[in-house]
Amino acid sequence: MDDKLDMSMMFAMHDALRRELAQVARIARLRDDHPGQLLRAALGWELFKKFLVVHHQAEDDTLWPALRARVAGRPERVALADALEAEHAVIEPLLTAIDAAAADPGYGYQRFGDIVDELATKLTAHLAHEETDGLPLIDASLTPQEWQNFAQDHTERLRGDAATYMPWLLNGASPQMLDAVLGKFPPPLLTAFREQWSPRYAALDIWPPTAEATVAEAAAAEAAAAEAAAAPGTGKDSVLCRSRTGPKPPRRPPPPAVTCGSRCSSSPPLSSCWCSTTRS
C-alpha cells in the first residue's frame, strides 16, 4: 500500500466489527433458544455496542470536522464526509431497537430478526463505503498530525477499557494485522497484552456457546451429508456420528513475537503507541 497515513488500527477496528456482527447475526438465526434473550445476556453484545459507539463518536467529533476543513471548497468531498457521518446516525438507533425488541416478551421476537438484518446491512455497507471512498480521501487530505489527533482521541476514549478492548480488537486477527498493531506497542505494554490481557479475555464467556455450537453442528451435518452423497456405500450411522462430532477447528497460532515500533520511544505515552502513525 502507498498510503501516506498508517490506517492499520482503522482496518483492525473494521475487521473486529464485522467479526462481532457475524456473531450477532448467528444468534438472531436461532429458533429454539430465545435469541433475543441470548443476545441481551451476551457480554459480546455489550462490548460490540460500546466499542462501535465510541468509534463512531470519535469520528464524528474529531475526524469528520478535520476532513471537512481540509476539503472545504470541494462540494463533492464535503458531501462524502457528510454522508459518512449521516450513516452513523442510523446505526445507533438500531442498537437501541434491537435491545427493545429482545426485551419485549410479547411480540418483540417478530421484530428482532428484521432489525438485526437491518443493522447488518447498514453497518456492513457503511464500513465498505468508508474503506472504498472515505479512507482514500482522508489519506489524501489530512496531515499526519491531524490523523494522529484523531487516533489519540480514539485511544483516550478507550483507555479505561484497554485491557479488554485490545484483545477484543485483535481476536482472530491475521498475522499481518497482529504485526501491524502490536508493532506499535512498547515492550512493557506488549508483555501485558500477551501475558495478562489476552489470557483474561480468552477466559471470558463472550458469546453464548449455544449459538456457536448450533452453527458448527449444522455445518458439520451438511458437510457429512455432502460427503455421504459423494461416496456411495457410506452408511447412515457413520454420517450421523460425524455430524454429531464435527471436525475439530485448527489451532490458531500464537501471536508472533514482535518488538515496539521504531516510532515509539522506550517509554512513550500509551496513546503514541496505540494510535496510527505515519509510515516511514
pLDDT computed for residue 180 by the predictor: 94
At a CB cut-off of 8 Å and minimum separation 6, what does 12 contact?
A: 169, 170, 173, 177, 180, 181
Cα–Cα nearest to 277, from 151, 171, 182, 164: 151
Give dist(CA 254, CA 167) in Å, integer. 13
Give mean pLDDT in consecutive 10-residue pieces for the chain, a chain of 280 residues: 84 98 93 83 97 98 97 96 96 96 82 95 98 97 97 96 97 95 93 96 89 52 60 39 34 37 33 35
> Cβ distance 186 to 268 under 8 Å?
yes
Query: What is the DSSP code string of 16-75?
Result: HHHHHHHHHHHHHH-SSS-HHHHHHH-HHHHHHHHHHHHHHHHIIIIIHHHHHHHHTT-H
pLDDT computed for residue 275 by the predictor: 34
pLDDT computed for residue 256 by the predictor: 37
pLDDT computed for residue 110 by the predictor: 80
Give dist(CA 205, CA 45) in Å, integer. 11
At a CB cut-off of 8 Å and minimum separation 6, what does 30 contact?
A: 38, 210, 211, 214
pTM beyond 0.85: the answer is: no
